[in-house]
Amino acid sequence: MKMTIAEIAQAIDADTSLLSEETLAKEITSVDFDSRNIKQDGLFIPLLGEKDGHNYIESAAANGAGATLFAKDHEDQLPVAVPVLLVDDPLKSFQKLSKYYLQKINPRVIAVTGSNGKTTTKDMIAAVLSSEFNVVKTYDNFNNEIGVPYTLLQMESNTEFLVVELGMDRPMQLDFLSKLVEPDIALITMIGEAHIEFFKTRDKIADAKMEITHGLKEDGIFIYDGDEPLLRERAKDLSVRTMTFGSKQDNDIYPIKIDGQKFTTNFTTNLWPDVEMVIPMIGDYNVNNALMAILVGKIFRIHEKLICKQLKTVQLTKNRTEWLEGKLGEAVLSDVYNSNPTAALEVLKTINETPVDGRRVIVLGDMLELGEQSLAMHASLAQELSLAKDNQVYLIGDDIQALAEALKPEYDATRLHVYKKDQLDQLAADLIADMQPNDTILLKASHGIHLEQVVAKIVK
């Protein structure tokens, strides 16, 4: 990002009455809403949340901030150490600036949402496109009203593609984000139970996910899971071009053969039956994520050999289906950023089908935001766990206790270990004491359980 203070002010209609002509000509080269991360000549965005960002402007100035937005209703605490752009609402001005900058750089925009798999899909699409284009993708999970504008403003002037992840936890959130980024291609990975506490039914979750099409360009493309009736039904009402992926042969792309290995998955598709693809992760659900990336690559005429190469070496965002090595050499599968019943069942099924040399150790934490159905949904995982009676199972959290009760008839105390959500340290200690060199260990939970702390203690 490179803009003068004057250009920024004009883009967001800011009051510059406190600034000189010399100051307005000064160039801003970055943006951040965390004063600790401000770089030299960066623009500081003082957001209003649990803490008031205006209280950290002096800190931002000390770190080299070149300018700051400043809410007009805070004028009684105006700073003197950094140039000030007066605005009504710093967040809305931040969003407006990101929209202006997006239109200025004018890349092709690929927007991804879904109840599960959106971060992995984003990573795969970005990897495929980067074989021939300059690509910027959403950093980590910066996928909300703050994270998306931040992502837009990270683009360099030579950016050709923006692959942006859009999150959702309430109605009309995706409507806003989609209209902010105006995607050329919009994708929905799947409809699961994430946030069902607020939406009550999968139908309403599907309605909310479809909001990603609200900002889709008239000549844009909507890509979705064709095996999901809720999406097929809603896609019929769209005037834009649609494409589908899934396991059924009436989709635009589907796998012909899937061969799961211990750490990778090999597969072929109907598009290139003689070309074997390899992804560095396990699970049919990750093949679905790869199918979306393949479709995007094909749309932009990337050769299948390049797509193969990029998928085989894709670098995934941390804590998403990530293979790590335990202290004794165990295989540790960390998937601790997000969880819902559909995603948990998929990964449990995959780990049960994965060839292992030793034991399978399953570590599960609470799946959050499931509302009144939470206990039943946690207990429903027992069916998949009952299929592999040699598993060691560790459970941590509140509602996961329902799963513990469901497993007790088949799992004795030597194989079922249950912890309260504040017993992460004890869980880690017990795992370390129990682990054996040939074990394969799965850890899966919603991020709010913080299983990543356990992962950090059991790996090298």
Q: Tell me which of 352 and 235 has the higher pLDDT.
A: 235
* Pair (205, 272) in one structural domain: yes
* Pair (47, 152) in one structural domain: no
- What pLDDT, on a 0 to 100 scale, did the predictor assign at position 386? 79
* Pair (261, 175) in one structural domain: yes
51 CB contacts (<8 Å, ≥6 apart)?
none
Given a cut of 90, is residue 423 above it in pLDDT?
yes
- What pLDDT, on a 0 to 100 scale, did the predictor assign at position 389? 61
Which domain-ending residue is among 88, 115, 134? 88
> Would you say residue 96 lies in a domain?
no
**Cα distance between residue 375 and residue 129, in whole Å:** 42
- What pLDDT, on a 0 to 100 scale, did the predictor assign at position 116? 86
Instruction: Indicate the number of domains in the chain.
Output: 3
> Would you say residue 191 lies in a domain?
yes
Token reading at 421:
């959500």
Whole-model pTM above 0.85? yes
> Would you say residue 95 lies in a domain?
no
pLDDT class for 405, splitting at 50, 70, 90?
very high
* Pair (139, 196) in one structural domain: yes
Q: Tell me which of 390 and 404 has the higher pLDDT.
A: 404
- What pLDDT, on a 0 to 100 scale, did the predictor assign at position 209? 96
Looking up residue 221, the CATH number of its domain turns out to be 3.40.1190.10
DSSP classification of residue 253: B
Is residue 114 a known part of a binding site?
A: yes
> Would you say residue 99 lies in a domain?
no
Is residue 440 a known part of a binding site?
A: no
Looking up residue 418, the CATH number of its domain turns out to be 3.90.190.20
Number of helices and strands in the chain (H, E): 18, 21
* Pair (204, 61) in one structural domain: no
* Residue 29 structural domain: 3-88
* Pair (283, 142) in one structural domain: yes
pLDDT class for 388, splitting at 50, 70, 90?
low
Looking up residue 22, the CATH number of its domain turns out to be 3.40.1390.10
Q: What are the tens digits of pLDDT across the range 1-50?
A: 999 999 999 999 999 999 999 999 999 999 999 999 999 999 999 999 88
pLDDT class for 352, splitting at 50, 70, 90?
confident
* Pair (197, 238) in one structural domain: yes
Is residue 115 a known part of a binding site?
A: yes
Given a cut of 90, is residue 452 above it in pLDDT?
yes
> Would you say residue 97 lies in a domain?
no
CA distances from 236 to 171, 191, 222, 232, 355 (A): 21, 17, 11, 7, 41
* Pair (339, 452) in one structural domain: yes
Given a cut of 70, is residue 319 above it in pLDDT?
no
Answer whether 17's CB lies under 8 Å from 86's CB.
Answer: yes
pLDDT class for 81, splitting at 50, 70, 90?
confident
- What pLDDT, on a 0 to 100 scale, did the predictor assign at position 200? 78
**Cα distance between residue 9 and residue 212, in whole Å:** 30
- 3-state DSSP call for residue 407? helix
Strands of 322-325's sheet, edge to edge? Answer: 322-325, 331-335, 440-444, 360-365, 392-396, 416-419
Give the long-range contacts of residues 42-46, CB within 8 A, separation 24 or more: 42/66, 43/8, 43/67, 43/68, 43/69, 44/68, 44/69, 44/82, 45/69, 45/90, 45/91, 45/94, 46/70, 46/71, 46/90
Q: Tell me which of 342 and 162 has the higher pLDDT.
A: 162
Q: Residue 228, Cβ neighbours under 10 Å: how many?
A: 21
DSSP classification of residue 52: B
* Pair (224, 328) in one structural domain: no
> Would you say residue 98 lies in a domain?
no
> Would you say residue 64 lies in a domain?
yes
- What pLDDT, on a 0 to 100 scale, did the predictor assign at position 367? 94
Q: What are the tens digits of pLDDT across the range 158-196?
A: 999 999 999 998 899 999 999 999 999 999 999 987 666
Locate the DSSP E strands across 114-170: 135-137, 161-165
- What pLDDT, on a 0 to 100 scale, did the predictor assign at position 60? 95
- What pLDDT, on a 0 to 100 scale, did the predictor assign at position 387? 66
Percent of the chain with pLDDT over 90: 81
Lowest mean pLDDT among 138-142, 190-194, 378-382, 429-433: 190-194
Is residue 119 a known part of a binding site?
A: yes
Q: Tell me which of 3 and 349 has the higher pLDDT.
A: 3
* Pair (151, 295) in one structural domain: yes
Given a cut of 90, is residue 115 above it in pLDDT?
no
* Pair (297, 175) in one structural domain: yes
> Would you say residue 402 lies in a domain?
yes
**Cα distance between residue 188 and residue 182, in whole Å:** 15
**Cα distance between residue 303 and residue 296, in whole Å:** 12
- What pLDDT, on a 0 to 100 scale, did the predictor assign at position 80? 72
* Pair (58, 204) in one structural domain: no
Mean pLDDT, the chain, integer: 94
Is residue 268 a known part of a binding site?
A: no
Given a cut of 70, is residue 416 above it in pLDDT?
yes
Given a cut of 90, is residue 343 above it in pLDDT?
no
